[in-house]
Amino acid sequence: MKRRTVDLLFSIGGLGLAVLLLVAGIVLTTNASFANDYVRDQLGAQHITFKAADQLTDEEKKADCLVEYAGQDLTTGKQAECYANEFIGLHLKSIAGGKTYADLGEPQSALRAQVEQATKANDPALAGLEKQLAEVSGQRDTVFKGETLRGLLLTSYGFSEFGRKAGQAALVVFVGAALLLLLSIAGLVHAFRTPTTEAFAAPEPAKEPATT
């Protein structure tokens, strides 16, 4: 086989791969842009704003991101992560001793049963039980709303991370496409500089040392 033919085959193959990588990079860039725009638009529509720096409590000031984003509108995935974990998460711990929505289900059900029994028995403790039930129910509703908002914000953060990683992958793919393009061009230049009569010589296998 002629040397020029080999150079042309490798160069054309490299160009084909470069084009495929370029297309993949464009797709990844488009997905990254969509993720970033979607997260920004959806978070911006909620009109969530971080507390101003002078309004932060001592506990809130321990979170560096709450200090960094103080007074800003929540529009990015990183901000959503901060607000969910450091602000909502902090305040959820102060409700019902840090119990979750699921944790409060058992005491709520138990109090409902006690209220029902006290109602049937006309127990004078009914008013106190109803008050306890109302308190636990209120705590559970508040925790449910907080956990739901926290989950939605963390979902937005996760979606934004997919977009960020897609952007990083696109950069790597574009670099690979550029390298393949340069190598292919170099191969084409070498091919046309090579005499048409020059044959491709495969490297000879290494000879084993003679044994005595």
Average pLDDT in the chain: 87
pLDDT of the residue at 25: 92
Taking every pair of C-alpha atoms in the chain, what is the biggest distance, in angstroms? 111
The model's pTM is 0.74
Token pair listed for 197: 């009569």
Query: pLDDT digit string (tens) for 49-70?
Result: 999 999 999 999 999 999 999 9
Task: Please give the radius of gyration of the chain, using alpha carbons only, rounded to the nearest integer.
Answer: 33
Q: Distance between CA 173 and CA 25 in Å, rounded?
A: 6
Determine the Cα–Cα distance for residues 66 and 69; give it in Å rounded to an integer: 5
- Taken as a whole, the chain contains a residue count of 212
Report how far Cα 77 is from the mean position of its chain's Cα atoms. Answer: 8
Find tokens 């963390």 and name the residue. Answer: 154
CB count, 10 Å around CB of 205?
Answer: 6
> What is the phi/psi pair of residue 100, to 5°?
-90, 175
pLDDT digits (tens, 9 = 90+) for 173-189: 999 999 988 888 888 77
Give the tens place of pLDDT for each residue, 122-170. 888 899 999 999 999 999 999 999 999 999 999 999 999 999 999 999 9
Given the structure tokens 């509703």, which residue do they identify? Answer: 141
Q: How large is the angle between the packed helices 126-193 and 105-121, nearest 10 degrees?
A: 160
CA pair distance 150, 82, nearest whole angstrom: 10
> In angstroms, what CA-CA distances link 169 with 66, 137, 159, 183?
30, 48, 15, 21
* pLDDT (0 to 100) of residue 29: 94
Q: How far apart are CA 51 and CA 70, in angstroms?
A: 5
Domains of the chain by residue range:
3-193
